[in-house]
Amino acid sequence: MSTQQSLFLIVVLIVASGFFSMAEIALAASRRIRLRQLAADGDQRAPKVLQMQEQPGDYFTVVQVAQNGIAILGGIIGEGAFSPFITSVLGHWMDGKHASTLGFWISFLLITSLFILFSDILPKRLGMAEPERVAMRVYRPMLLVITLLRPLVWFYGKISDLVFKLLGLPMLRDERITSEDILAMTEAGTQAGVLAQNEQRVIANLFDLDNRLVTSAMTARDRIAFFLQNDSDALIRARIGAEPYSTYPVCDRDIDHVIGYVDAQDLLQRALNNQPISLSDDSLLQKALVIPDRLSLAETLEQFRQAGEDFAVVVNEYSLVVGVVTLNDVMSTVMGDLIGPDDEELIVQRDEHSWLIDGITPIEDVVHALHIDEFPHFEDYDTMAGFLMVMLRRIPRRTDSVNWGGYKFEVMDVDSYRIDQVLVTRLCAEGQEPKEQETASLGAPSP
């Protein structure tokens, strides 16, 4: 075989090997969601590529058989084409034995480099750039090669299936899409500029509804504005003016005996018409939806849907009221709002390394604000105050502090055993290394 023929065959083998490399990476990298979209748009090749992805055994067997065969043949032809020429050139400067050995290795490196660059790296980068389009274009040629090499495909396929069974390995790819997969895609979309950051945050919050309890979104017991059933007209009017809300629970004797709720619009309408307001009036009083405090926000939304309500009273295992929640509270959580219509901001960033956090702030919001992976004993509390109580194992006092995850959580203000404000400082800002284990510092008793 002449040198020109050998060079021509090497070029053909490199092109063929590049085709199989590109076909392999294109099928593996093709996104099923994108292929389904192309199929829905009428592309007839997309369903076939999807079917090939579901059972890729024959496809990848052909790729490996072809690539290995081409690599061996390319080495043989390349050594015969380049080695004699390189050996003869080197023979002018060294003896024949050394020139032959060095010529062989130079020929080997040259052929290997050509195959690595033009039949592996470049085709795979091209296949990764547009995997779906490439996979659909190479589908028919690959199907033809599979048919031509059917005996080899069957033989190697059976052997590989046997090995998989003996080792107990999965033979099919798990195509189930999890919430983590979707969140990873939205984060990638945000980084690419396809999604705005606030849009990505809304999607993440939607998936977080199953993990967040209703207590993270409710109005706590000590902030509930409620009426007693026997409250006078004057007292009701005064409270509406002082604490304007859309809905008010109505109780018998105390807050733990809720008998219903009244809508502020109904009260306002009577006030504007100069009609007396009596909470004993059945036309004003509506039946309250009561839910346990262990429900997730997703379950709370389902309760609202089934009951046709947008207001619920939250009770604990002892049937004591711990808060109230509205549909708007849940949706505000989805939208990522930390500011209510009449509330101060719960998390205030003072500077790059410190935050002022209200004690009632849901611990999930603290996790997102500080980018902490997780808090210890996460299942035992719902708020920032609960975290400090669990860590200190007692009611915190002013100046008490806890170190966790590279942050210092210091109690700044306590009102009747209720933690009002917590100062969070990043420890590494003070030249300290983040701590793996928690430490607690006990302050002096408050006067």
Phi, psi of 404 (to 5 degrees): -155, 135
**Tens-digit pLDDT profile for residues 67-99:** 888 888 877 777 666 676 777 777 777 777 777
Query: pLDDT tens digits for 353-402?
Result: 899 998 888 888 888 888 887 888 877 888 888 899 999 988 888 889 99
For residue 355, the cross-strand partners are 349, 424
Spatial separation of the C-alpha atoms in residues 233 and 236, rounded to whole Å: 5
Whole-number Cα distances in Å, 9 to 14, 64, 75: 9, 20, 11
**CB neighbours (10 Å) of residue 432?**
12
* Predicted pLDDT of residue 339: 42
Residue in the structure block whose two tokens are 């967040």? 212
Q: Specify the pairing of strand 289-292 against strand 311-315.
A: parallel
What are the chain's domains?
Answer: 3-167 (no CATH), 180-209 (no CATH), 213-338 (3.10.580.10), 347-426 (3.30.465.10)
Q: How much is the pLDDT for 14?
A: 87
Q: What is the pLDDT of residues 21-48, one digit of tens each?
A: 898 888 888 888 888 888 888 888 888 8
Using one digit for the tens of pLDDT, what is the confidence trace for 99-109?
A: 777 777 777 78
Judged against a pLDDT cut of 70, whether residue 437 lies above it is answered with no
Give every CB contact of residue 44 below 8 A, 6+ residues apart in sequence.
none
CA distance 297 to 329: 10
pLDDT in tens, 206-237: 888 888 888 888 888 888 999 998 888 889 88
Please tell me the pTM assigned to this model.
0.57
Average pLDDT, the chain: 82
Question: Count of residues for the chain?
Answer: 447
For the chain, give the secondary structure using H, E and C: CCHHHHHHHHHHHHHHHHHHHHHHHHHHHCCHHHHHHHHHCCCCHHHHHHHHHHCCHHHHHHHHHHHHHHHHHHHHHHHHHHHHHHHHHHCCCCCHHHHHHHHHHHHHHHHHHHHHHHHHHHHHHHHHHCHHHHHHHHHHHHHHHHHHCHHHHHHHHHHHHHHHHHHCCCCCCCCCCCHHHHHHHHHHHHHHCCCCHHHHHHHHHHHHCCCCEHHHCCEEHHHCCCEECCCCHHHHHHHHHHCCCCEEEEECCCCCCEEEEEEHHHHHHHHHCCCCCCCCCCCCCECCEEEECCCEHHHHHHHHHHHCCCEEEEECCCCCEEEEEEHHHHHHHHHCCCCCCCCCCCEEEEECCEEEEECCCEHHHHHHHHCCCCCCCHHHCCEHHHHHHHHHCCCCCCCCEEEECCEEEEEEEEECCEEEEEEEEEHHHHCCCCCCCCEEECCCCCC
Q: Name the least confident of 153-162, 273-282, 422-431.
A: 422-431
Q: Which of 270, 292, 291 is nearest to 281 (CA)?
A: 270
Residue 446 has pLDDT above 70, yes or no: no
